[in-house]
């Protein structure tokens, strides 16, 4: 099995695998170190309008085969309170 790792525009990392015909099992693990920083009082933070999102960030919110964000958005609208601000809603989803 041949494997290569490539970087794409925007810094996204892709793995390419070429395998022979037959069953293939791929296992991928990753460790993510994520922190957040709040600017101002969290209860006053608002979700930006789509037009306000920087173009370079759009690649991270469009649906893909890895994260069907369109389906995820519908689920979160059903399951979580729409009256909460974006920051509070995201915190509740994560916890």
Task: Kindly tell me the sign of the dihedral angle through the C-alpha atoms of 79, 84, 85, 88.
Answer: negative
- Which distant-in-sequence residues (6+ apart) come within 8 Å of 71 by Cβ? 63
Q: Can you give the pTM of this predicted structure?
A: 0.34
Domain ranges of the chain: 41-95
Q: Tell me, what's the pLDDT at 60?
A: 77
Q: What is the pLDDT tens value at each position of the chain, 95 positions in all?
A: 787 777 666 667 777 788 888 998 888 888 878 777 777 776 677 777 778 888 888 777 776 777 777 777 777 778 776 677 677 777 777 77
């Amino acid at each position: 099995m041949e494997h290569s790792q490539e970087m794409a525009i925007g810094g996204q990392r892709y793995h390419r695998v070429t395998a022979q015909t037959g069953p293939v099992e791929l296992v991928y693990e990753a460790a993510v170190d994520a922190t957040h920083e709040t600017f101002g009082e969290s209860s006053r933070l608002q979700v930006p309008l789509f037009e306000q999102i920087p173009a370079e960030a759009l690649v991270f919110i469009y649906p893909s085969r890895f994260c069907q964000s369109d389906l995820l958005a519908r689920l979160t609208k059903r399951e979580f309170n729409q009256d909460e601000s974006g920051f509070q809603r995201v915190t509740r989803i994560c916890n």
